[in-house]
Structure 1
Amino acid sequence: MTISTSRDFLASLFDEAVRAADPVTGIRSNLPEKPKGRTIVIGAGKGAAQMAKALETVWDGKLEGVVVTRYGYGCETRNIDIIEASHPVPDAAGFVASRRLLDTVRDLSKDDLVIALICGGGSALLPAPPAGMTLDHEIAVNEALLASGAPISAMNVVRKHLSTIKGGRLAASTQARVLSLIVSDIPGDNPAHVASGPTIPDRSTRHDAIKIAAQYALKLPRAAIEHLHSEAADAPLVDDPVFVNNRHHIVASAGVSLEAAARMARRQGVEAVILSDSIEGEARDVALVLAAIAREIEARNRPFSKPVVLLSGGETTVTLRNKGGKGGRNGEFALAMAMAIDGYEIDVLAADTDGIDGSENNAGAFADGGTVKRIRAMGLDPRRLLDGNDSYLGFAAIGDLFETGPTGTNVNDFRAILVR
């Protein structure tokens, strides 16, 4: 394959992975029985609006409600209100949305049904600080977490103990039965970690949150620290009777998407190997490990024979070294990978399945054995870009950003490494 055809091939695998995460299929197969009373829809996440639209197409009956999604990610729905708010850093619109979701379910009865549509991004979209904390405090907490390099599961333990809506509290605020339909962006698909589990409790405690804050040297506001050291931070646990009639289903996940991408690769005559759907760790470190495997294949045809595409998912992290840098974890992975495969016949696509990598307008980036040379030809230093968390600048300069726009789903990172 040429670089051009290799990129078309890799992009086709991404598209297939996203198609496999279409929420319509998963929602249709997990519809509940209609209740005696009302059916109310709530939701949060970068794909929540599309999930709401999907539910409206397959639900045979009356429903109403409200979901919150990221700015620019809304879509037209018939009966479910869509609120847009800021991600990855919360804002006042998200604060209002949190109040709206809580108010929507608070006065329901046991005869009513709440369908909760939950997907990645919901943590930032549902700011609801407890007494003693303000929205500015919650923004500061999120900024500290995003810069820490902590894995998403650890970040969400902290978030859910500094909230009045996360950690199962949204579900605990209603008498109605709650069915959560979840698109998982969490390695391992723990439903309580998706969007910090507004409708799903877990066994983590505020003491776990305190340990995480110390482990990652989080610079939290004093109000947040004081709250974590008080009993008011305790979240409801899984054995709380308030959850006894509630249910949840994972309707889309990274594992399902990677399997679909692997089948697509094989249909095009390229063997595919799924390394893992739950890779975590610093993006640049993960890149070095996967680059070493790819180089071994390219040079010695082991542990797999070429041509082969290595697929993986999960969620890497980035420890911010330069707050002024542009680029998300997939751009950082791709740049570190490019430096490690310089001169090799290896092609890479790293992208977020929701269509946005970090805070910029790209899903991720392409890289190959000539990326470093092309970046240098533009007068840029790849090492300096990587050290400054500025991968976006490098890939934009050479035209290798991967742009899809909002995809309507979110099953986290998608990485495809083609050894030709």
Structure 2
Amino acid sequence: MAHDTDKSLLCSLFDVAVTSAKPDAVLAKFLPQKPASGRVVVIAAGKAAAAMAAALEDVWGPCEGLALTRYGHAVPTRTIEVIEAAHPVPDEAGRIAAGRILDLASSLQDGDTLITLMSGGASALLSRGAGNISLEEKAELTRALLASGADIGEMNTVRRHISAIKGGRLAASAYPARCLTFAISDVPGDKPEIIGSGPTVADPTTQADAKAILAKYGIDVPASIQAALNDPAFESPKPGDEKLSRTEFHMIATPQMALEAAKAAATLPCHLLGDAIEGEAREVGRAFAGLARAVREGKSAFTAPCLLLSGGETTVTLPKGASGRGGRNVEWLMGFAEGVAGIEGIAAVAGDTDGVDGAAEVAGAYADSSTAGRARAAGYKLDDAMAAYDGHGFFERLGDQIITGPTNTNVNDFRAILIR
């Protein structure tokens, strides 16, 4: 009974966080009047791209443009074309669409306006390589970065320096047209240059930074990528670049805003632990389990009963031979479940607000003090699932997955811990 009650309570908070960040709830308040003169082109990219385009058309009416989103994340629009492509590993559909987006921006003149709607997932979707870099070379590098344990900032630093569209290049191609960007943040710290790898903002990092990240994780790259990283002509636009002088950037939804919405809906005392928590997922889960135990035992500044909310983006470093299905949220939960096993009155949910944890169409899961024991009784020990990095298989066996389908937004991971 406690399992069902606690799961329902925590899942309801996840739903509140997601709903608070949906484009139709937030975009309208940030939009100016539609420009009365000149050509207006709308470009949207990311998992929320189609929903953002539809929300803009609800305010401005039919518009010229293109929205590039993940397979399964399309929604109806009036006149803005919607194209679906692969995420997190790019595919040919994304490459072709990114080329069309670059051509649209390049066709603008002085007096025209480029509207860009950015959300998480845009980095993988906008897969137009610099120089002679092929799609397969970009895809292979993406796979290596995903498995390396590199954080999203490091991944996108590399991506900005091998792209024809990221790192300010989209806005530069539209100059001297005006460029207005409205973004939903899915990254720790809400840095514009990391959201979608910053197609419309200056890049404070360098080719040397990208090469250092590849060296840090021991990632070998082909000659085409080496050439792009060594050629000064491929360096990204920097702060102060004249071609970025007519750009504006507006953050319309962030992880912190989603956490605050969940806190406002909570019926128990609620504490926010931060919206930018990073680290190896299962180790962070174990650390949060330790905090929950301390609260339960009266050894913390927080007093039970209470809720602890947090966001951010942890990482998972996959060893060679890992065969399971997982993502950073279920990985976090397995570490958490291990740490609270047998201690009654502690439960948690963790999920990605876009509805996709890792590469699976599963947002996340629920775990509590009974998780490890129930798994043992079901014939799938927690230790075995952790060894296989099989978080989705583990929580599927227990019936504790959170499956939302595409949510049409993305403000990163949401975690809620309940301590009775």
Aligned equivalents of 1:25 and 1:300: distance in 2? 40
Partner residue, 1:296: 294
Deviations 1:21-61 (A, max 9, x none): 122343212213433211110011001110011101012x5
Aligned equivalents of 1:306 and 1:217: distance in 2? 45
1:134/1:323 CA distance change after superposition, 3 Å:
farther
CA-CA distance at 1:301 after TM superposition = 5.2
1:24 is aligned to 2:8 = no
1:260/1:85 CA distance change after superposition, 3 Å:
same
Aligned equivalents of 2:402 and 2:348: distance in 1? 11
1:173 is aligned to 2:173 = yes
Aligned equivalents of 2:222 and 2:71: distance in 1? 27
CA-CA distance at 1:299 after TM superposition = 1.5
Instruction: With the length of structure 2 as denominator, give the TM-score of the two structures.
Output: 0.97
Deviations 1:216-244 (A, max 9, x none): 22233342223212223310112101111
Partner residue, 2:96: 96
2:406 aligned counterpart, secondary structure? coil
**Of residues 293, 310, 313 in structure 1, which corresponds to 2:308?**
310
Aligned equivalents of 1:236 and 1:11: distance in 2? 43
1:284 is aligned to 2:277 = no
Partner residue, 1:328: 327
Deviations 1:75-102 (A, max 9, x none): 1000100000000110000001101101
Q: Is the 8 A contact 2:327 2:359 kept in 1?
A: yes
Instruction: With the length of structure 1 as denominator, give the TM-score of the two structures.
Output: 0.97
Q: Is the 8 A contact 1:140 1:221 kept in 2?
A: no
List structure 1 runs of 4+ shifted beyond 4 angstroms: none
CA-CA distance at 1:383 after TM superposition = 1.6
Q: Is the 8 A contact 1:39 1:62 kept in 2?
A: no
Q: Is the 8 A contact 2:362 2:405 kept in 1?
A: yes
**Matched ranges for 1:51-70 at <5 A:** 51-59=52-60, 62-70=62-70
Task: Tell me the amino acid that sits aligned with residue 102 of structure 1.
Answer: L
Partner residue, 1:108: 108
1:276 aligned counterpart, secondary structure? coil
1:147 aligned counterpart, secondary structure? helix
Compare 219-228 and 1-10 and name the one that shifted more.
219-228
CA-CA distance at 1:379 after TM superposition = 1.6
Aligned equivalents of 1:34 and 1:118: distance in 2? 18
**Matched ranges for 1:8-407 at <5 A:** 8-35=8-35, 36-59=37-60, 62-175=62-175, 176-265=177-266, 268=267, 270-300=268-298, 302-321=300-319, 322-344=321-343, 345-407=345-407
State the percentage of identical aligned residues: 46
Deviations 1:189-238 (A, max 9, x none): 01111011111222110111111111122233342223212223310112
Aligned equivalents of 2:9 and 2:184: distance in 1? 26
Task: Tell me the amino acid that sits aligned with residue 196 of structure 1.
Answer: S
Aligned equivalents of 1:245 and 1:105: distance in 2? 14
Aligned equivalents of 1:220 and 1:378: distance in 2? 44
Q: Is the 8 A contact 2:62 2:80 kept in 1?
A: no
Aligned equivalents of 1:406 and 1:51: distance in 2? 14
Aligned equivalents of 2:389 and 2:163: distance in 1? 30
Q: Is the 8 A contact 1:144 1:219 kept in 2?
A: no
CA-CA distance at 1:324 after TM superposition = 2.7
Aligned equivalents of 1:305 and 1:289: distance in 2? 18
Aligned equivalents of 1:379 and 1:233: distance in 2? 54
Aligned equivalents of 1:41 and 1:410: distance in 2? 19
CA-CA distance at 1:323 after TM superposition = 4.6
Q: Is the 8 A contact 1:351 1:414 kept in 2?
A: yes
Aligned equivalents of 1:311 and 1:92: distance in 2? 39
Alignment RMSD (CA, Å): 1.3
Q: Is the 8 A contact 2:40 2:114 kept in 1?
A: yes
Task: Tell me the amino acid that sits aligned with residue 233 of structure 1.
Answer: F
Task: Tell me the amino acid that sits aligned with residue 334 of structure 1.
Answer: L
Task: Tell me the amino acid that sits aligned with residue 401 of structure 1.
Answer: Q
Q: Is the 8 A contact 2:286 2:338 kept in 1?
A: no
Aligned equivalents of 1:103 and 1:351: distance in 2? 36
Deviations 1:108-161 (A, max 9, x none): 111111110000000111111122210010001100110111110111000000
Deviations 1:152-204 (A, max 9, x none): 01110000001101101111111311100000001110111101111122211
Compare 298-307 and 255-264 and name the one that shifted more.
298-307
Aligned equivalents of 1:121 and 1:4: distance in 2? 33
Aligned equivalents of 1:274 and 1:417: distance in 2? 11
Q: Is the 8 A contact 2:284 2:332 kept in 1?
A: yes
Q: Is the 8 A contact 2:376 2:382 kept in 1?
A: yes
Aligned equivalents of 1:140 and 1:37: distance in 2? 41
Aligned equivalents of 2:161 and 2:203: distance in 1? 11
Q: Is the 8 A contact 1:166 1:197 kept in 2?
A: yes
Compare 195-204 and 380-389 and name the one that shifted more.
380-389
Task: Tell me the amino acid that sits aligned with residue 54 of structure 1.
Answer: A
In structure 2, runs of 5+ residues without a counterpart are none
Aligned equivalents of 1:201 and 1:383: distance in 2? 45
Q: Is the 8 A contact 1:287 1:336 kept in 2?
A: yes
